[in-house]
Amino acid sequence: MTDILLSEAEKKYLIDGVKLGMRVDGRERLDYRRLELETGLVCTANGSARIRLSSTDILVTVKMEMEPPDPDNPFCGKLQFFVNCSANAAPEFEGRGGEDLATTLSGMLERLYSSPFTIDKTKLCVVPGKYVRVLYIDIEILECGGNLFDAASLGVKAALYSTRMPQIYVTGEDGGHLEFVVSDNPHDVDRINISNAPILITHLRISENLTVVDPTPEEECCGPVRLVVGVTPRSGIAATQLLGGGTFSPQTLVTCLKSAVELGEQIDRCLCEKLLQEERVPERQIKGFLDK
Question: pLDDT tens string for the chain (292 positions)?
Answer: 555 678 889 889 988 998 888 898 989 999 999 999 999 999 899 999 999 998 899 999 999 999 999 999 999 999 999 998 877 766 667 666 678 888 999 999 999 999 888 999 999 999 998 999 999 999 999 998 989 999 999 999 999 999 999 998 888 777 667 888 888 888 889 999 999 999 999 999 988 789 999 999 899 888 889 999 999 998 899 999 999 888 899 999 999 999 999 999 999 999 999 999 888 876 666 554 444 3
Closest alpha carbon to 114 in 226, 230, 228: 230
**Residues present in the chain in total:** 292
Give the Å distances, CA to CA, from 39 to 51, 59, 61, 281.
Answer: 9, 10, 10, 12
pLDDT of residue 108: 95
- Note the pLDDT of residue 291: 43
The pLDDT value given to residue 2: 53
What integer pLDDT is reported at residue 292 of this predicted model? 37
Question: Dihedral of the CA atoms 137, 238, 226, 93 (nearest 10)?
Answer: -10
- The whole-number pLDDT of residue 204 equals 95
Q: Is 6 helix (H, G, I), strand (E, B) or coil?
A: coil
Q: Which fold has domain 8-279?
A: Ribosomal Protein S5; domain 2 (3.30.230)
What is the pLDDT at residue 94? Answer: 66
Going by their DSSP bridges, the two strands 131-143 and 78-85 should be labelled as parallel
Beta strands in the chain (DSSP E): 35-39, 47-53, 56-67, 78-85, 125-127, 131-143, 165-166, 168-174, 177-182, 189-190, 199-207, 210-213, 225-231, 237-244
As to burial, measured by CB atoms within 10 angstroms (0-12 exposed, 13-18 middle, 19+ buried), residue 149 is buried
